[in-house]
Structure 1
Amino acid sequence: MPLKPHFAFLLLFSVLYSCREKPGPDSEASASGRYCLDSAFRERVAFVKPAYEKVTEGIHLTGSIEANPDKVVSFVSLVSGVVTGVNFSIGDRVQKGQVLAEMQSSELSALQSEMASLRSRIAVAENRLKAAKAMFTDGVSSQRDLLEAQSELDILQSELSRNNANLGLYSASVSKGVFQIKAPVSGIITQKAVTTGAQISPESGPLFTISDLSRIWILANVYATNIKDVFPGMEVSITTLSYPDEQFKGKISSVSSVMDEEAKVLKARIELPNTGMKLKPGMLVDINAFKPVDQTALSLPTSSLVFDDNQNYVVVYKNDCELAIRKVGILTSNNGTTYLSDGPDTTESIISKNQLLVFEQLKNFQN
């Protein structure tokens, strides 16, 4: 019985201890009542210092992705026939020499018959030449007879070589009895106009179009109001709906001198390496072209700013217990960089990560 008061006291102390307010990861108050960063949260913040940079003006353009026309190859059949098999579809990657399709053609049968006839005639001509040489040696025939026999053989062999070249040009597979349509280059099939059983001829148009998409073109629409500000060599940043968090950077390589008749715009061309084949022909893109301005200003990453009550602020850091909210004036923002008209100087450190949490804590302490 005398142990019960002690047990009750210990139980009450344990409950109170477990329920006491634990210091959060984002703040602690010093003895003087100022807000301080605690050691745990200190590891979750980052710092940046303002730097003077040349101001650039962003010009927003729209555009689309296209294959480089110099890297696009269309295959047209040189013979007529019926397609017996198709091995690839639009979007497939092919290597040079791969068989895209096969077709049967009466022209192959004609070439094979002609070659068989030529081989027989060549065998006869070779025997005649051998006999002519023997007779010339024995003095029975003249040199003219020998030359005629040699000429006849040469002509027949030339015709056979020409037929072999035609078979190679048409990619004939004698063993299968078909013409093979082979990829002339490596790339992506971007157009296909052939199906199994289709009747094709040289007049049928392109059967396959293969594009090398390792480097692509972006054609930007330059409207009349922006013509004076857009020029070759301008740096650009490109974003797509497919990759909203990724920026593709490049430069304008050329600007057309002729207005597009339908869209009433000039076309500015940007050439980019297509790393990972992320950019596809036909994609729509947003383009930010950066026009240099004859002005230098303090700059900060746009992500380091805090927008509150229609004002922009930064959190200035001196040490863990000396932090301040500083209002800043903005000239312009481009490509993740904000240029300041007033604010901190280059010697001050600005919190650039989790600054919103620190900003709210400082406001609470000020209130």
Structure 2
Amino acid sequence: MKRILVVLAFWAMGCENQPQQEKRKSFCLDENFKNKIEFYTTRLEEVVEGTHLTGSIIANPEKVVEYRPLWEGTVVKTYFTLGDKVSKGQLLAEIRSTEGNTLQATLSSLESRIKAAERKKENLKHLLADGMASQTELEEAIADLEVLKSEKVRAQTESKWNHSQEGYFKVYAPTSGVVTEKSINIGEQVVAGGEPMFVISDLEDLWLMLNIYASNVQRIQEGMEVSISTLSFPGELFSGRITKISPAFDEDARVLKARSTFENRGGKLKPGMTVDVTAWKKAGESAVAVPVSALVFSDNQYYVLVHHSDCKVEVRKVEIAVKNKEKAYLSGGLSEGEKIISKNQLLVFEAL
């Protein structure tokens, strides 16, 4: 009697499992599934290792102009606001000051002193040839002349961008770009050598400054390609290349600084933004690669869904050798040319 009951129990269990097994065997990708998923054909690719870095966007320091007043006065008019695009020679402000005549007098004085210094230099040349002067005296005269010429250039530059008329200075933009800082308002006093009145930056030429921590120094080299992402544009990547690595460690920040150029599509990246960066290094070997988005992680193992046909989808375990944000390079589990589900594979995985 007991033997009969045991047989009946196994028979009942078999009947319960049979519909589920038939369901698994009969699973097919219908049109609803196929409209939601995407496929990817595996191929051999050169293994590329990614190293995560942080960084920030800055304006090229060589194309940032700080404009400091070289005289005292009162701001009476401004013709720009923060963020304005300005052109070289554009009128930006008017300053009431009595130092315009002083500037012109300085230029006249410098021209006279330069002429006298040139005559002195020529005389010393003749005296040196006659043995009446020393080489040191001639070199000192030449140095004095160069100093005067430098002072004249500075005064001419000041005069060029600060036109004086009837007690007013008109301030013109010394370069083209975007006003990234403005510190003057109507009625305020400006002081010679004081804070910059404004800063003009060329935002068409930006730098990405990277922070390389000590643990990553050996992995980063000049010429490496980088991918740049920011919270301001989620899901969007910008491409760049490391062009310069500092030879000295920044002791305050405890990082090695590096500079990268990058493609700033649509001018989306702005100075002051912090970004996440992945630096790519080719390992010199190839492996079967799959998109990271195609992986299924379950029970501490990675799987992919291999598509043989719409009614034959295989869940297959894979071994990952190297993985970065975009690709996983496999050491086992898949061969080149196999077709896998690379989007919404979890929907299929749960249905199998």
TM-score (norm 1): 0.69
2:67 counterpart residue number: 75
Whether the 8 Å contact between 2:57 and 2:270 is mirrored in structure 1 is yes
Aligned equivalents of 1:284, 1:58: Cα separation in 2: 19
In the alignment, is the contact (CA less than 8 A) between 1:30 and 1:321 conserved in 2? no
Other-structure match for 1:51: 43
Alignment of 1:261-340 (within 5 A): 261-340=251-330
Calculate the aligned-residue CA RMSD, in Å.
Answer: 2.9
1: distance between equivalents of 2:97 and 2:279? 55
Q: Confirm or deny that 1:93 pairs with 2:64.
A: no
Cα separation, 1, equivalents of 2:22 and 2:310 = 10
Letter in 2 for 1:216: L
Aligned equivalent of 2:53, options 46, 57, 61: 61
Once the two structures are superposed, the pairs formed by residues 1-367 of structure 1 within 5 Å of their partners are 33-108=25-100, 169-172=161-164, 178-362=168-352
Does the 8 Å CA contact 1:213/1:274 hold for their aligned counterparts? no
Cα separation, 1, equivalents of 2:24 and 2:236: 45
> Distance in 2 between the 1:193 and 1:236 partners?
36
Q: Which runs of 5+ in 1 are unaligned?
A: 1-28, 113-163, 363-367
1:221-252 residue CA offsets vs partner (Å, 9 max, x unmatched): 12222222211011111222222322222111
Q: Distance in 2 between matches of 1:167 and 1:228?
A: 51
Note if contact 1:96-1:183 (Cα within 8 Å) is conserved in structure 2.
yes
Q: 1: CA distance between counterparts of 2:24 and 2:333?
A: 27
Q: How far does the alpha carbon of each residue in 1:127-160 deviate from its partner, in whole angstroms, 9 at most, with x for none?
A: xxxxxxxxxxxxxxxxxxxxxxxxxxxxxxxxxx
Partner of 1:147: none
State the distance in 1 between where 2:157 and 2:83 align. 32
In structure 1, give the amino acid aligned to 2:51: I
Shifted more, 30-39 versus 337-346: the winner is: 30-39
**Per-residue CA distance 1:253-278 (angstroms, 9 max, x = gap):** 01111122312322111112333232
Contact 1:237 1:335 in 2 (8 A): no
Distance 1:293 1:285 in 2: 25
- CA deviation digits over 1:56-85, x for unaligned, max 9? 222222222211111111223344321012
Give the deviation of 1:182 after TM superposition: 2.2
Counterpart CA distance in 1 for 2:344 and 2:171 is 60
How far the C-alpha of 1:33 sits from its partner, in A, is 4.5
Q: Is the contact between residue 214 and residue 275 of structure 1 (CA under 8 Å) also seen in structure 2?
A: no
SS of 1:57's equivalent in the other structure is strand
The one-letter amino acid of 1:320's match is D
SS in structure 2 at match of 1:35: coil
CA drift of 1:191 comes to 2.0
The amino acid that maps onto 1:41 is F
Distance 1:165 1:287, change over 3 A: closer
Residue 106 and residue 40 in structure 1: after superposition, are their counterparts in 2 closer, same or farther (change >3 A)?
Answer: same
Flag the structure with larger Rg: 1
Question: Are the structure 2 counterparts of residues 229 and 40 from structure 1 closer, same or farther at C-alpha, using a change threshold of 3 Å?
Answer: closer
C-alpha displacement at 1:165, in angstroms? Answer: 10
* Count, aligned residues: 282
TM-score, with length taken from structure 2: 0.72
Distance 2:199 2:74 in 1: 19
Task: Provide the secondary structure at the position in 2 that maps to 1:237.
Answer: strand
Amino acid across the alignment from 2:177: G
Q: Does the 8 Å CA contact 2:66/2:200 hold for their aligned counterparts? A: yes
Q: Which residue of 1 aligns with 2:5?
A: none
Local SS of the residue matching 1:96: coil
Supply the AA of the counterpart residue of 2:217.
I
Paired AA for residue 28 in structure 2:
C
Structure 1 173/297 Cα, relative in aligned 2: closer, same or farther at 3 Å? Answer: farther
SS in 2 for 1:84: strand
* SS of equivalent to 2:248: coil
| Structure 2 match to 1:133 | none
Residue segments in structure 2 that go unaligned for 5+ positions in a row = 1-20, 105-155
Deviation at 1:167, TM superposition (A): 6.5
- In 2, Cα distance between the equivalents of 1:67 and 1:343? 48
Deviation for aligned residue 1:356 = 1.5
Deviation at 1:194, TM superposition (A): 1.7
AA paired with 1:189?
Answer: V
8 Å CA contact 2:57, 2:206 repeated in 1:
yes
